Amino acid sequence: MKQYKKVKILATLGPASSEEHIIRQLHAAGADLFRINMSHASHDMMRQLIRHIRAVELQSGRPIGILADLQGPKLRIGRFAQGTVELRVGQSFTLDNRDEPGDNSRVFLPHPEIFAAVKAGDRLLIDDGKLHLRVEKADNESMTTTVVAGTKISDRKGVSLPDTLLTVGVLTDKDRADLDALLATGEIDWVALSFVQRPEDLIEVRKIAGDRVGLMSKIEKPQALDHIDEIIRLSDALMVARGDLGVEMPLESVPGLQKQLTRACRRAGKPVVIATQMLESMISAPVPTRAEVSDVATAVFEGADAIMLSAESASGDYPVEAVATMTSIARNVELDPLYAGIINKQGAAPEATGADAISLAAHQIAVTLGLAAIVCYTSSGTTGLRAARERPPVPIIALSPVVQTARRLSLVWGLYCVTTDDTTDIDETVKRACAIVEAEGFGGQGDSIIISAGVPFGIPGSTNMLRIAEL
């Protein structure tokens, strides 16, 4: 039978993996979809990467998803006359709107929205938290802070605001230009939104993108957690961006939040990606640390839809080895005798819909009868998402006549996506499902499968039929 994994691997492309032959090796090693980081990719580079991915897709015969990650509002301080200055804990330090080189008493902050939003007592974390400042007072032109921890500050370092809600949207002028270029290709399946804080951030982007791409909210700001239910409702998927989240929140709180968000997404039937620093040491080493292996395994045990590689595959020395390592970890966890029990205990009650009732029944029948696979016909992707939400122990073969649907579903736990011609006849549907299961290596003569579809055919969201068939 075919060797396949339920959790998906999202690999970031970059200088170490921008050539077609490397992308082909990453896919062969287990990458199910690829991330293009628009913080670093020009429009020409983005289009070239898309061409390479689609060439690999054509050669492999498998739908491959593409995620484009928008940069978002990167907040940075200005420059210093000497490049770097030393501060003292307890001293006063000012950030202002004067576009002049800074010194050990002040620096330029080119973000007027911050002056308008901060209040006394708010924290400013500079350079991923290496410098901690506390706001004493602020107006529309400057803010006076006290140095709480850290002593070094240098040019163009990033600013994090864990206590401040910025009312500006998530799209900068650069993001809008990038989004227009991405949508114009017609080849992007997911767009990730950085620094989401409010439901309004999703509404703004949805007005531009419509349903042409899936919207993935990156949870990296503590303010997003105050509106998480609404953000999940308005998103098509979530990414738990643990690196930035760990800067703005206590590190010890991140593992628990990862579990909470993973389970909340499963309840909602929305895919969730666990990202950043998964196999960080493999940027420069051919093998990971034991702690990193346990970290990846925890995400798999928890039932995350996808696990992501960032610099490991984009700029590291061992991009293919990193994907192969992640694949090996995932497959071993999914074979662990405790895995099925953990996944089942995290299940959520089905909603009162026909799709959920059918998906739950398919799961129970497949387990009771020991079936080889569940096959679901899905045009819009909804049936595939609901089937995956049940986390059945058998493979889920998602058949779709819409290649864009198959590509988007490549992110979703347990789905093995196949593009196929549309069908209008039940007998033809069953016959084709059996043929595909056998051709793809998920069953052989004498095995049985269960098929879900919507009758009459061609109406999205009308799943109402179950059929057991023998190969």
Q: Active-site positions?
A: 35, 76, 218, 276
Return the axis-axis angle of helices 199-209 and 173-185, rounded to nearest 10°. Answer: 40
| Torsion sign (Cα): 419, 422, 427, 428 | negative
User: CB of 152 within 8 A of CB of 130?
Assistant: yes
Sign of torsion, CA 62 309 379 444? Answer: positive
- Cα–Cα distance, 288 to 300 (Å, whole number): 17
Helix axes 290-302, 319-335, angle to 10 degrees: 50
Torsion of CA 169, 229, 384, 294, to 10 degrees: 90
Asked if 300 and 414 touch (Cβ cutoff 8 Å), the reply is no
Return the number of other C-beta atoms located less than 10 Å from residue 375's C-beta.
Answer: 31
The sign one gets for the Cα dihedral 270, 276, 281, 283 is positive
Closest CA to 162 of 69, 77, 248, 94: 248
